[in-house]
Amino acid sequence: MLAIDFVPDGGGITIVGRLDAAEAPRAQSFFDRVEGTVTLDCSRLEYISSAGLGVLLKTQKRLLASGGKIRLTGVNSHLQDILGYSGFDQIFEVERAR
């Protein structure tokens, strides 16, 4: 299961659960509504596959074209590995989990 929500008062976005190929279309629908520069709190993102990375890539491309971007925070070691192997650590500003 996956839950994505805006944090009230411009606090960014939280994502909780597993972003796999089955959940990617619903995630894309959410991220298509995102504008500007936003922080995505990944501290409770348990899992991401290439389908989920595709959602983030498409969103980052769209936002960068209009001067915005997504920042990833709370990135755990599994997610950090995936971002590194895919080169996404060069595409996204990443803040590791403390």
Partner 1 sequence: MTTSAAFKRSFDSISSIFALTADAFAREGIDTELLHAVDLALEELFTNMVKYSTTTDAAVLVEIAAIEGGVEVTLTDYDVEPFDVTKSADVDITLPIEQRRPGGLGLHLIRRLLDSIEYDYSQEKRCSRITFRKTQSGSPASGLLTNKGEENACD
Q: Is 16 an interacting residue with respect to partner 1 (CB under 8 A)?
A: no
Torsional class of 44: left (φ above 0), alpha (ψ -120 to 50), beta (otherwise): alpha
Angle at 53 between CA 12 and CA 31, to 5 degrees: 40
Spatial distance between the Cα atoms of 41 and 47, rounded to a whole number of angstroms:
13
Token pair belonging to 87: 């080169």
Size of the residue set binding partner 1 (CB under 8 A): 23
Shortest Cβ distance from residue 4 to partner 1 (Å)? 17
Applying CB under 8 A, among 11, 22, 93, 96 the residue interacting with partner 1 is 22
Residue numbers 38-97 binding partner 1 by CB under 8 A: 47, 49-51, 53-54, 57-58, 60-61, 64, 78, 81-82, 85-87, 90-91
Task: Dihedral sign for Cα 52, 24, 57, 8, please.
Answer: negative
Please report, as ranges, the residues that interact with partner 1 according to CB under 8 A: 18, 20-22, 47, 49-51, 53-54, 57-58, 60-61, 64, 78, 81-82, 85-87, 90-91
